[in-house]
Amino acid sequence: MARVLITGGTGFLGSYLARLLTENGDDVTRTYFVDPDPFLRGVAPKGRLVHLDVRDPTEVAKVLGDARPDAIYHFGGQPYVRPSWEDPMRTFRTNVDGTLHLLEWLRHHSPKTKLGFAGSSAAYGISVHQPIPEEEPLLPSSPYGASKAAADVICYQYSVSYGIPTYRFRIFATTGPGKAGDAPNDFATQVARLERGPAPRVLAVGALSTRRDFSDVEDTVRAMWTIVEKGTPGEAYNIGSGVTRTMGSIVEGLQRLASVPIEIREDEARLRRVDEPVIHADNRRLKALGWSPQVPWERTLESLLDHWRAHPDGAGPRAK
């Protein structure tokens, strides 16, 4: 049984990962910064919860010193693109400084502890090659992506310079019940609301031609566990399904599942300042570890819509 610490462990990915690790028999401690969504409280089994602001190195030292983990999965940070444009400084302090505080504690006190860093495909920016290999240059097009790229490189440097076993997850689009701020949940939220309301029923959308590599959250957290258990320290691993879908096809899938006819209309406010036309993961390095996606996409869409049907009070617009 391993002692595992999950920073940001009451968030979306942290909650689902905590459930997986607990089912595997690990002793899991989760940290939180703000209260989680009520639904996410029920995803992970009840266990040890500790407050942590990763921007505070003293608090980081206290939490890690008490937990003495064999492995850390680091999700604690500012997870959205849109707020990063509005406050780049806070995004960098949280995502870059917060990661550095963890690594510094490990360097001085526990250099054999594994660290799985939750990076993002946003670090690649608008890539020349599709699907995107891990060797692609990191040329992010948002402050959020830049913060993830910087922390990713720092994790690599601490691995080669100090021998800390870091594993760099470059997570492509991941969705599932309880996710805040992604397009599939935004669409499903609206569909659930429109099903309960009168006509006309209009679904507001952004750009529908963009293509994204979406994975179900269950597949994503299983990929993270696989990387930390079987991967090469210091290495970067794309986490994605290897299949792209247009935003339009996702809307059409939810239209088919809806219980009422729904009209589609573009909303200019939902268009991003910079929006990569295609983001497609080359996941061969991950698949070489024995991982493959298991959850059918149709089941993922059904789970999103069923979630928002069951949680009408939470079915509101989410920002990203």
- Residue-wise pLDDT for 50-87, tens only, equals 999 999 999 999 999 999 999 999 999 999 898 999 99
Question: What's the confidence (pLDDT) of residue 316?
Answer: 43
> Looking at residues 243-253, what average pLDDT do you find?
97
Cis upstream peptide for 200 (omega within 30°): yes
Q: Which residue has the tokens 């300042």?
A: 273
The half-sphere exposure of 147 on its side-chain side, counting CA atoms within 13 A, is 27
pLDDT at 315 over 60: no
- The yes or no reply on domain 176-213+243-280+294-314 and CATH 3.40.50.300 is no
Under the banding of pLDDT at 50, 70 and 90, the label for residue 312 is confident
Under the banding of pLDDT at 50, 70 and 90, the label for residue 180 is confident
Where in the chain are the domains?
A: 3-174+215-239, 176-213+243-280+294-314
Under the banding of pLDDT at 50, 70 and 90, the label for residue 45 is confident
Determine the residue type at 179: K
Distances (CA, A) of 263 to 36, 93, 204, 252, 302: 33, 42, 9, 10, 19
- Residue-wise pLDDT for 2-35, tens only, equals 999 999 999 999 999 999 999 999 999 999 999 8
Q: Which residue has the tokens 């996702």?
A: 250
Whether 179 and 190 have beta carbons less than 8 Å apart is answered as no
Measure the CA–CA gap between 18 and 14, rounded to whole angstroms: 6
Reported pTM = 0.94
Question: What's the confidence (pLDDT) of residue 38?
Answer: 83
Q: Which residue has the tokens 């939180």?
A: 32
Under the banding of pLDDT at 50, 70 and 90, the label for residue 272 is low
Alpha helices of the chain — where are they, by DSSP H? 12-23, 38-41, 57-67, 82-86, 88-92, 98-109, 143-162, 183-196, 217-230, 247-257, 284-287, 297-310
The half-sphere exposure of 111 on its side-chain side, counting CA atoms within 13 A, is 9
Measure the CA–CA gap between 265 and 270, rounded to whole angstroms: 11
**How many angstroms from the chain centroid is the CA of residue 71?**
18
Determine the residue type at 285: R
Q: Which residue has the tokens 């946003």?
A: 122
| CATH number of the domain located at residue range(s) 3-174+215-239 in this protein | 3.40.50.720
pLDDT at 319 over 50: no
Whether 317 and 198 have beta carbons less than 8 Å apart is answered as no
Question: What's the confidence (pLDDT) of residue 320?
Answer: 38
